[in-house]
Structure 1
Amino acid sequence: MEEQSQFVVKHEGGFTLLEMIISLTIFLILAVLTPLMFSAIFSTSGQPLHHQEISLFFEQADKELQGSISAEKRWDRLYLIQPDGNEISYEKYGDRIVRKVNGAGFEIILQDIQSFRTEHDQHSVELIVQAHEGIFTHKAILIQPYLNQWKTP
């Protein structure tokens, strides 16, 4: 018979290195996939976001319109003359509305639209955007601070 040393103790209840690697791998896979599953389940369609983008476009255009000296429509583009002499234009380019300053630059203001029109008279400008969700309009009043100042003799 074989005798065991009194100093050798066998621990059969522990984990091996292979078992630890496998369990850690499964845990990491679940940790990576859980946020993706939640985002897929609770995601909304792009419509509310696009509606917010259109509202933001109207707000930005409204600020520039109210600070403009004049506004005019040429070649289906809206041109705004600023007090500092800059000319800002809004135009449809493909399925986007782009903003240019003095004919240079190319800032995309709004995407995924079908049409963009402007109608204006002496005191107001109406912006009309047609997107997949419908037609959105916004009317801004031209303040024109430099034309309304009192002249002193």
Structure 2
Amino acid sequence: MWSINTNLFAYLHLLLSNRGVTLLQSLVALALFMLFIPLTLALLSTYSKATSNQVTTHQESVLFIDQLEKEVRESDTYVLRPREIEMTKNGQRIRYQLYQSRIRRQVNQAGHEIVLQNVDSIAYSLHPKGITIFIQSGTYSASYLLLTKVYFDS
């Protein structure tokens, strides 16, 4: 162990002596620097994309929930099924359902309006104050409560 330390100190002394830095040492340092820069940029880019995708998924989910909540409140009646919700509003049947990996909206069983993409699963369930919706999309999952009635604490 002692010989390694003395050899290391001797090498460092040689490097730091007044002789300067050789061209070979500069090229080795430059090559190492050039290897680490692309690796660092690739890691940062991957992290940035993953974070960006999750933020986008959250924003799209919130927008979908806002639209659905408004439509449920304005509807006359609604029926929950495992992967869909159907409501009647002014004599029209409006249905939100999981179709492949998308949530689509149909009016009177016509149309194919995509309101949310890249959905792995969705579940609707009744809650005393409204409807609970659970959305799973890749690594993103969220649970929302749609208030269908206004409640006042007394």
TM-score of the superposed pair, with normalisation by structure 1: 0.60
- The aligned counterpart of 1:18 is none
- The aligned counterpart of 1:112 is 118
Task: Give distance in 2, aligned partners of 1:126 and 1:135.
Answer: 13
CA contact (8 A) 2:54 2:140 kept: no
Task: Give distance in 2, aligned partners of 1:123 and 1:67.
Answer: 16
Residue type matched to 2:57 in 1?
A: H
Task: Give distance in 2, aligned partners of 1:75 and 1:49.
Answer: 26
Q: CA deviation at 1:122?
A: 7.0
Task: Give distance in 2, aligned partners of 1:136 and 1:96.
Answer: 16
Task: Give distance in 1, aligned partners of 2:127 and 2:107.
Answer: 23
Count how many residue pairs are aligned between Structure 1 and Structure 2. 103
Task: Give yes or no for the alignment of 1:98 onto 2:101.
Answer: no
Q: CA deviation at 1:64?
A: 0.5
Q: CA deviation at 1:57?
A: 0.6
Task: Give distance in 1, aligned partners of 2:86 and 2:131.
Answer: 11
Larger RCO (CA under 8 A, 6+ residues apart): 1
Q: CA deviation at 1:121?
A: 5.2
- The aligned counterpart of 2:16 is none
Residue type matched to 1:133 in 2?
A: T
Task: Give yes or no for the alignment of 1:77 onto 2:87.
Answer: no
Higher radius of gyration, 1 or 2 = 1
Tell me the secondary structure at the aligned position of residue 56 of structure 2.
Answer: helix
Q: Structure 2: any 5+ residue segments left out of the alignment? A: 1-44
- Give 1:1-153 correspondences, 5 Å limit: 44=49, 45-74=52-81, 76-82=83-89, 84-120=90-126, 124-143=130-149
CA 49–121 in structure 1, closer or farther in 2 if over 3 Å, else same:
closer
Q: CA deviation at 1:74?
A: 3.7
Identity of aligned residues (%): 29
CA 112–131 in structure 1, closer or farther in 2 if over 3 Å, else same:
same
CA contact (8 A) 1:68 1:142 kept: no
**1:93-148 CA deviation, whole Å, 9 max, x = no partner?**
1111001011110100100111011112575111111111332111112239xxxx
Root mean square deviation of aligned Cα = 2.4
Task: Give distance in 2, aligned partners of 1:77 and 1:51.
Answer: 20
- Greater percentage in helix: 2
Tell me the secondary structure at the aligned position of residue 119 of structure 1.
Answer: strand
